[in-house]
Amino acid sequence: MDSIQGILNFIDPVLIYPYRLFDNPMAGWWVGTFCLAAWAVLIGEITMAIAGRINRSAVSTNLDDTMYYHEQSMKAKQAGDEKAYKGINKLANEAYGKSFFLLMAMGMAALWPAFFAVAWLDERFKDISFTMPAWAGGLELNFVAPFILIYIGMRIAWARAKKKLKPVSDA
């Protein structure tokens, strides 16, 4: 826990800067939280890209193995060899499982900055709460709910932007 606290203390001056850009504390909070969510998305995407580059050959190998074993199992089934079909199909499922969980782990690499952001928000803003209007039930929310909504919105916007930024292949 001390190492996390040290990291949070180290990055605090950078993270708090956008919160202090406005004299109005509410405007500063929203702009700062928007910037924090943007940084979390950006750092998460960079981490995921690095993990993807490191694991590219392992994922490719597992997916190739999955396709190979699947094709072989289909050939065994067509030949009427049920025992070979089941054995080879089991190998295909294992290869698929390896690639699936490796891809899931790489996808999770994009989320860790959001947890650091929430930990930092807790250090700085744990006593702040937002009261919803009466028409929304008058609920009281802490700092996490607005951050999560902004973060999810930014992730969705980034995913859509990435699709538009990818070059279209001629194939």
pLDDT at 171: 47
pLDDT at 1: 57
Burial 130-157 (b: 16+ CB within 10 A, else e): eeeeeeeeeeeeebeebbeebbeebbee
Long-range contacts of 88-95 (CB under 8 A, 24+ apart): 91/65, 92/65, 92/66, 95/62, 95/63, 95/65, 95/66, 95/69
Distance (Å, rounded) from C-alpha 15 to C-alpha 67? 46
* Domain edges within the chain: 2-165
Distance (Å, rounded) from C-alpha 86 to C-alpha 72? 11
Query: Residue range 70-99: average pLDDT?
Result: 87
E strands in the chain: 129-131, 140-142
Binned at pLDDT 50, 70 and 90, residue 14 comes out as very high
| pLDDT tens-place string over residues 18-39 | 999 999 998 999 999 999 999 9
pLDDT at 13: 92
Q: 126 or 19, which is more confident?
A: 19
pLDDT at 169: 55
- Residue 130 pLDDT exceeds 80: no
Number of H helices, E strands in the chain: 5, 2
Binned at pLDDT 50, 70 and 90, residue 117 comes out as very high
| pLDDT tens-place string over residues 49-64 | 998 898 888 888 888 8
Measure Cα distances from 141 to 110, 144, 145, 154, 159 in Å. 26, 8, 6, 20, 27
